Amino acid sequence: MKHRLKCLNLALWVMFFSSSEGWSSDSLTLAGASLGFEWIIPFAGLLLSIALMPLLIPNFWHHHYGKIGSVWALLTSVLLGKYFGLFTMVECLSTTLIHHYLPFMMLIGALYIITGGIRIGIQASSTPIMNTLILGIGALIASLVGTTGASMLLIQPFLTLNKERQFRRHLVVFFIILVCNVGGALSPIGDPPLLIGFLKGVPFLWPLVHLFKPFIMILGAVLVIFYLVDRWLFIKEGNPLKKITNFKFSLQGYDNVVLLGLAISCLFLSELACFKQSIKLLGITFTHGDLVRDLGLMGLAFISLKFCPQKARIDNQFTWDPLKEVALLFAAIFITVEPVLAMLKAGKEGAFSNLYHFLTDSQGEPLNSSYFWLTGFLSSFLDNAPTYLIFFNLAGGDVVELTTVLSSTLVAISAGAVFMGALTYIGNAPNFMVKAIAEINSIKMPNFFQYTLWVSLILLPLFTLLSIVFFS
Q: DSSP for 61-83?
A: HHHHHHHHHHHHHHHHHHHHHHH
Model pTM score: 0.77
pLDDT on residue 7: 45
pLDDT on residue 30: 65
- Rounded Cα–Cα distance for residues 354 and 344 (Å): 11
pLDDT on residue 228: 95
Helix, strand or coil for residue 472? coil
pLDDT on residue 90: 81
Can you list the pairs that 407-412 forms with residues at least 24 positions away whose Cβ atoms lie under 8 Å? 407/210, 408/368, 408/470, 408/471, 409/366, 409/368, 409/371, 410/197, 410/202, 410/210, 411/210, 411/211, 411/214, 411/368, 411/470, 411/471, 412/368, 412/369, 412/371, 412/372, 412/375, 412/470, 412/471
Q: Which of 434, 409, 431 is nearest to 420 (CA)?
A: 431
pLDDT on residue 342: 77
- Rounded Cα–Cα distance for residues 263 and 297 (Å): 6
Residue 460: CB partners within 8 Å, gap ≥ 6? none
Question: What's the helix, strand, coil split of the chain in %, to 5?
Answer: 75, 5, 25
DSSP string, 343-384: HHHTGGGSTTHHHHHHTB-TTS-B-HHHHHHHHHHHHHHS-H
- Rounded Cα–Cα distance for residues 335 and 199 (Å): 16
pLDDT on residue 8: 39
Tell me the average confidence (pLDDT) per consecutive run of 10 residues in the chain, 472 residues long: 43 34 39 76 85 82 89 90 80 80 85 86 82 94 85 85 86 95 90 85 90 96 95 83 72 89 78 69 70 89 92 82 81 85 72 76 84 89 75 84 90 94 82 80 80 92 95 84
Q: Which of 57, 55, 112, 91 is nearest to 316 (CA)?
A: 112
pLDDT on residue 12: 36
- Rounded Cα–Cα distance for residues 191 and 422 (Å): 12
pLDDT on residue 44: 86
